[in-house]
Amino acid sequence: MYPHLPVSTVFLTGKGRLKRNISVCNIHNNLGQKRNSALFGLYALTGSDVSGRFAGRTKYWCFKAFMSCDDEILDALAMLGNYNDLPSDACSELERFVCVLYRSKIHTTVKELRWFLYSNRAAERENLPPTSGSLESYIRQSHYIAMIWRKADENHPHLPAPVVFGWTSDAGSSHFSPVRCLNPPAPEAVLHLIKCGCKSGCEGRCSCRKNNIPCTEFCECLLGFHLQQQNKPTRDK
């Protein structure tokens, strides 16, 4: 928004005797047009008072990565909040930016980077978004937040429904909660591999009973039963 403000606009920072004025004009000129256009998207994506942030990555760290980004990533950041629907190629570039935040310029997807860190026994993989579905949902939420900021100079901004951009709400409620992930945490076949650890007789704490499914050969109760049958001595006829 700086071009619409007086050239003498300053930013007051610090406290007590350490206060100082920083010229907004100088910051604007030093960043350049592309990075100025991408600032809204940068702060919406990497953390603000109303958005999340990436684990282990401070604002200073994210800004350093931002200053080393190529034009494709800067263009994608500039798109946040500027369109009713974020283009898919912009989402791909933003995912690549997340890889840059975690010190990788050769990987283009979080999935590839997670496997690389896992195969090299790097603990930092735990800081990455858990799935591509969770990252996609977070990007859509950041897009909506940037959309609100870009309309801050309008008295009555017209905004789409939050449920379209990564939030959900209960029927008849004005409270919105972020959607954590767009995809299930694991393939459906894996999710159904529930087994109980009951040693003898399945009671109220049985995980199979809680999920309304029958016990299978993977369960401790049936496995123990079969082992007992195998070890039972046979009688001679």
The parent domain of residue 149 ranges over: 32-183
Same domain, residue pair 195 and 175: no
Query: Nearest-CA neighbor of 166 among 194, 147, 185?
Result: 147
What is the C-alpha separation between 22 and 14, in angstroms, rounded?
Answer: 11
| Shared-domain flag, residues 77 and 166 | yes
Q: Report d(CA 69, CA 67) in Å as an integer.
A: 6
Q: CA neighbours within 13 Å on the CB side: how many for 155?
A: 0
Give the residue from 64, 67, 4, 10 showing the smallest Cα distance to 35: 67
More confident residue, 33 or 191: 33
How many Cα atoms occupy the beta-carbon half-sphere of 107 within 13 Å?
Answer: 17
Judge if 86 and 178 occupy the same domain: yes
State whether 176 and 102 are in the same domain.
yes
Per-residue pLDDT tens over the stretch 189-231: 565 667 777 876 777 778 787 777 777 767 777 665 555 555 5
Rounded CA gap, 88 and 91, in Å? Answer: 5
Identify any residues that bridge with 12 across adjacent strands, giving them in sequence order. 21
Q: 134 and 206 in one domain?
A: no
Q: Both tokens of residue 82?
A: 């500027």
Q: How many residues does the chain have?
A: 237
Whether the pTM exceeds 0.85: the reply is no
Residue 62 scores a pLDDT above 90: yes
What value, to the nearest 5°, has the Cα angle with vertex 63 and ends 61 and 68?
Answer: 100
Q: What is the mean pLDDT of residues 123-130?
A: 80
**Which residues have a Cβ under 8 Å from the Cβ of 68 and sit 6 or more positions away?**
100
Q: How many domains does the chain have?
A: 2
**18 is a domain residue:** no
Q: How confident is the model at residue 237 (pLDDT cuts 50, 70, 90)?
A: very low
Report d(CA 56, CA 61) in Å as an integer.
9
Q: What percent of the chain has pLDDT over 90?
A: 27
175-192: pLDDT as tens digits: 888 887 777 666 665 656
Q: Where do the H-state alpha helices sit in the chain? A: 24-31, 33-46, 59-67, 71-79, 88-101, 110-119, 132-150, 188-191, 207-210, 220-231
- 27 domain residue, yes or no: no
- pLDDT at site 177: 82
